[in-house]
Amino acid sequence: MSKIRILHIDDHILFTQGIQYLLSENPAFEWIGGASSGKEGVEKALKFKPDLVIVDYFIPETNGVDIGTEILKTLPKTKLVLLTMENSYLIIQSAREKGFSAWISKAAEKDELLSTLERVCRSEEKIFPEQVSIQVSPIQGNYKFDQLTKREREILLLITQGYTSQEIADKLYLSLLTVNTHRRNLLSKLGIKNFAQLSGGSGLGKLMEKKS
């Protein structure tokens, strides 16, 4: 059975070195390199064509989901795993929808990490939380995100990341009027008065109070 060739993208060099050591000790995996930025990560992925890319969500000037999306444009068969401390519902859902195979917390045990990496590469299995608890939901309370359309979830994710309406319009190639309409619909569907009510494990409420 051939080894699983892995590229790791994370701007924390010590963490990357730890992953490298962990993988080098396991005969199922082959470490092919690390990258500390989105640009470097995409370039190395296109050059080495790994079987699997592990990527953190928090990458300077971009994020892990966008990096993975860029890689899949050219390497659609490459498996993507989001290994991060970010545990918000919207980001996990975004990773799933953009083609990632799994989400793993950086707080996971070694055996869980290695098992997940092997499972997603040896099969078509998708490994995400079965149920999203309040702890991994960006809004405190009993809100139903299933009622949101894919576009609404995409816009809500960008709002919680601090993007302005104009920036969202530019990023998604929409008109400003369309984005503002979606914002009003989101407030109504989620039953909130403003996006400053958003909160969660990653401090999204504080981010919105500061940047929206």
The pLDDT of residue 154: 82
- For residue 128, being part of any structural domain is answered with no
Give me the amino acid identity at 185. N
Statement to judge: residues 21 and 118 lie in one domain: yes
pLDDT over threshold 60, residue 99: yes
Rounded mean pLDDT of 77-89? 90
Rounded mean pLDDT of 173-199? 82
pLDDT over threshold 80, residue 173: yes
Statement to judge: residues 85 and 38 lie in one domain: yes
Statement to judge: residues 118 and 141 lie in one domain: no
For the stretch 102-121, pLDDT in tens is: 999 998 899 999 999 999 99
Q: How many domains does the chain have?
A: 2
Lowest mean pLDDT among 163-167, 174-178, 198-202: 198-202
pLDDT over threshold 60, residue 131: no
The pLDDT of residue 33: 95
Domain boundary among 122, 149, 166: 122
- For residue 81, being part of any structural domain is answered with yes
Rounded mean pLDDT of 80-87? 90
Statement to judge: residues 101 and 194 lie in one domain: no
pLDDT over threshold 60, residue 93: yes
Statement to judge: residues 82 and 144 lie in one domain: no
The pLDDT of residue 197: 62
Statement to judge: residues 104 and 173 lie in one domain: no
- Is the separation of the CB atoms in 44 and 94 below 8 Å? no
Mean pLDDT of the chain: 83
Statement to judge: residues 82 and 147 lie in one domain: no
pLDDT over threshold 50, residue 98: yes
Comparing 91 with 141, which gets the higher pLDDT?
91
Domain boundary among 88, 122, 156: 122
Strand extents, DSSP E, the chain: 4-9, 29-35, 52-55, 58-59, 62-63, 79-84, 102-105
- For residue 65, being part of any structural domain is answered with yes
Provide the 3-class DSSP secondary structure of residue 30: strand
Closest C-alpha among 85, 26, 37 to residue 61: 37
- For residue 129, being part of any structural domain is answered with no
- Residue 9 φ then ψ, to 5°: -115, 115
- CATH (domain of 187): 1.10.10.10
Statement to judge: residues 150 and 115 lie in one domain: no
Predicted TM-score of the model (pTM): 0.70
pLDDT over threshold 90, residue 204: no
Domain encompassing residue 26:
4-122
Statement to judge: residues 54 and 115 lie in one domain: yes
Predicted confidence band of residue 145 (pLDDT cuts 50, 70, 90): low
* H-assigned helices in 4-106: 13-24, 38-48, 64-74, 89-97
The pLDDT of residue 205: 35
Statement to judge: residues 110 and 73 lie in one domain: yes
- For residue 201, being part of any structural domain is answered with yes
Statement to judge: residues 19 and 114 lie in one domain: yes
Rounded mean pLDDT of 29-38? 95
Statement to judge: residues 53 and 115 lie in one domain: yes
